[in-house]
Structure 1
Amino acid sequence: MLFKKLSITLVIVVTMLFQTVNVFAADVILGGQSIGIELDYDGVLITGTYDISIDNKKYNPSSDGYLTGDIIKKVNGQSIDSISTLMANVEKEIDNKNTITLTLSRDKKELHKELKFQESDGKFTTGLYVQDGLTGVGTMTYFNPATHHFGALGHVMMDVSLESDVIIKKGSVYNSYVKKINPSENGKPGEKIAEIGSIQIGTIYDNNNYGIYGNYDDYPSQDKQIISTASMDEVEEGEAYFLTVLDGHTLTKCSINITKLKKQNEPSIKGITFEITDEKVLSLTNGVVQGMSGSPIIQNGKLIGCVTHVDVNNVHQGYGLYIDWMLENDK
């Protein structure tokens, strides 16, 4: 059986609109730290199928209706929550020479399918590619001491390589160490190369179109800076900057010029359009890179939003989400 767990850096997404909401200001602890994000499926996700041989005949699970995006929930009625428990339960049923029935979740419906397998020299293979979670690297936007919540990333985290639109809602956030930067090129955004650390910062309770949100355990005390948030009406075209990590754990200030603002009556992406003007940062990144998502944008001493997207055709240009919409999700 072949298993995999994907690691992705994050900056480019699609989204949809929510209903009209009221927004509010807050005093928060400024972010900018690089974070590692681990999201866990409620079960094990099928990411594809491959051919195996059963009774000397070619067999592929897709012929029995297994689909990419199905989530395996149970093996013969026993709940599973990881690849290791899936393997252990399947091996036990094989040893006991039992027929194996998987309980699947698809489009919020429960399905039951027999699991067929190829066995050779005491090893088995099922024709299913699976993963039990996603990992990625992004940037913390803020910690809210009033709610003990955090907001990060500024967009949804999902596996864009799969046809499935399954979105994981729960997981954990860890510290992260940036090792190097692969610079951007027009048509090919770069990325931060980072290691996810062992120190857990918080627990995720929501992953939606406007970011990752959760409860934090602690924040880096050396980086503590209380800052007020600005309403959308306070944001102006012109000079601003964002904070991000380009090396190790060190926060870097990146000067930008806000070139366009969309006034929005409800949550929506790309409200802020900006270009990087910081020559030192450009010498390292050549523009917005994946992993900058969530980098807090500051103007006139207030937190106004976060970096979310890169303009693929002009990587010096990026887009941001108003902090109003992140605070709404914090509620």
Structure 2
Amino acid sequence: MLLKKLSISLITVVSLLLPSFQVFGADVILGGQSIGIELDYEGVMITGTYEISIDNHTYDPASDGYMTGDLITHVNHQKVESISELMQAVKTNVESNQDIILTLKRDQQTIEKGLKFQTKDNQFTTGLYVQDGLTGIGTMTYYNPENHHFGALGHMMYDTSLSSQMVIKNGTIYNSYVKKIKPSQNGNPGEKIADIGSIEIGTLFDNNNYGIYGQYTDITEQLQTISTASMDEVELGEAYFLTVLDGHQVSRCSIRITNLKKQNEPAVKGITFEITDKKVLSLTNGIVQGMSGSPIIQNNKLVGCVTHVDMNNVHQGYGLYIDWMLKNDK
């Protein structure tokens, strides 16, 4: 049996240093909306293995060198891009008593391996757990009306359950409906519980250390246009971010910026802040997963976005300067 497993990881951030540069302010459309994100593998990812019985002997594909993170791209040289295509290709070859050779992509290598399977009552099992995509919830940071691009999350999205941190560049974003909030606790960040809707908002062309970026479709609702602030304009003190805590309603969350790192090159934790909004704290008890990308506003300018939480003090969070998001929006 082939099982599909989905994983959400919207807080972890990986650093990448790029050359220094100067960023000029831009006028963008302010985000804050909850979004559903679907990233598509160019194949089917192996997420684990399990034991099956072949000729009364226990067999685990891991013993044949199959590894978590391997990407299945072909079955007997037939290209597969989804679980349904993989299952159909394997089924066809099983029924015709053909040997099955899987083409795997592992890092920069291409590997071919024979696939063993167990048959019982006209059903087959392979000992492989697989998934054909990655799904998560996050927050839109901005829309750029000049080029119809969007920026969201403020960090890379990848599957933390895999030993291989394969970067997926392509995907789709949808509207999202927040049903409830699981509050954070020190050492255990909470999360937004949300449904991904059916309305497509845009398509992704990049997923990097500073967010997800893509082309958005026409925006039907009237949203606020806002200027972005350079890093030098951001100050210690009062600010707020926008995020969805219930349904589709964008809420304002008051914060106090407590530390600023002046950076000559992209890096995380440029902005340190703490939530001061008692109403929001009563619902979330701090930063929760799904807030990633929430736009931070100070002095009527977009200064950055929420990226992750302080695990030891969930009332405290970190943000990415909007400068770095504009630089990575290509």
TM range (shorter): over 0.9
How far is 1:226 from its partner?
A: 0.5
Instruction: Name the SS of the counterpart of 1:280 in structure 2.
Output: helix
SS at match of 1:199: strand
Q: Which deviates more from structure 2 when the two are superposed, residues 51-60 or residues 294-303?
A: 51-60
Matched, 1:317 2:316: yes
User: For residues 31 and 220 of structure 1, do their structure 2 counterparts lie closer, same or farther at Cα, with a shift above 3 Å needed?
Assistant: farther
How far does residue 328 in structure 1 lie from its aligned partner after superposition?
0.3
Q: Distance in 2 between matches of 1:18 and 1:84?
A: 40
> Matched residues in 2 for 1:61 and 1:21: separation?
49
What's the counterpart of residue 155 of structure 1?
A: 155
> 2: CA distance between counterparts of 1:285 and 1:9?
18
| 1:306 corresponds to | 305
Written as runs of structure 1 = structure 2, the 5 A alignment for 1:51-200 is: 51-200=51-200
Residue of structure 2 in register with 1:279 after alignment: 278
What does residue 17 of structure 2 align with? 17
Percent of aligned positions that are identical: 72
The 5-angstrom pairing of residues 219-234 of structure 1 reads 219-222=219-222, 224-234=223-233
The residue that corresponds to 1:34 in the other structure is 34
Match of 2:255 in 1: 256
Return the letter of the residue paired with 1:143.
Y
Give the secondary structure class of the aligned counterpart of 1:184.
Answer: coil
- CA displacement, residues 236-264 of structure 1 (integer Å, 9 cap, x when unaligned): 00010000000000010001000000000
What's the TM-score once normalised by structure 1's chain length?
0.98
Contact in 2 for aligned 1:9/1:192 (Cα 8 Å):
no
Q: Distance in 2 between matches of 1:42 and 1:19?
A: 30
1:296 paired residue number = 295
C-alpha deviation, 1:9, in angstroms: 5.1
Q: Kindly tell me: are residues 171 and 132 of structure 1, through their superposed partners in 2, closer, same or farther at Cα, counting changes over 3 Å?
A: same
In the alignment, the residues of structure 1 paired with residue 19 and residue 90 of structure 2 have an alpha-carbon distance, to the nearest angstrom, of 45
Structure 2 regions of 5+ residues with no counterpart? none
Counterpart AA for 1:324: D
**Following TM superposition, by how much is the alpha carbon of 1:220 offset from its aligned partner in structure 2, in angstroms?**
4.6
Determine the structure 1 residue equivalent to 2:237.
238
Contact 1:9 1:138 in 2 (8 A): no
State the match for 2:267 in structure 1.
268
Q: What SS does the aligned partner of 1:141 have?
A: strand
Q: Structure 1: 5+ residue runs without aligned partners?
A: none
CA–CA distance in structure 2, aligned partners of residues 85 and 24 of structure 1:
47
1:247 aligns with 2:246: yes
Matched-pair contact (CA < 8 Å) for 1:101–1:113: yes
CA deviation after TM superposition for structure 1 residue 187, in Å: 1.1
Give the stretch that moved more between structures: 212-221 or 14-23. 14-23
Residues 9, 191 of structure 1: 8 Å contact kept? no
Contact 2:9–2:159 (CA under 8 A) maintained in structure 1: no
Number of the residue aligned with 1:215: 215
The worse-fitting range, judged by mean Cα deviation, of 107-116 and 241-250 is 107-116
User: Is 2:43 the partner of 1:43?
Assistant: yes
User: Are the counterparts in 1 of residues 7 and 161 from structure 2 also a CA contact under 8 Å?
Assistant: no
Q: Which amino acid aligns with 1:330?
A: D
8 Å CA contact 1:298, 1:305 repeated in 2: yes
Residue type of the partner of 1:22? Q
**Deviation of the 1:19 alpha carbon:** 2.8
1:84-124 C-alpha deviation (Å, 9 max, x unpaired): 00000000111111111001101121111111101111000
Following superposition, the deviation at residue 152 of structure 1 comes to 0.2
My pick for the range that moved more, 124-133 or 10-19, is 10-19
Q: Structure 2: which amino acid aligns with 1:281?
A: V
Measured after TM superposition, the shift of residue 33 of structure 1 is: 0.1
Aligned length: 330
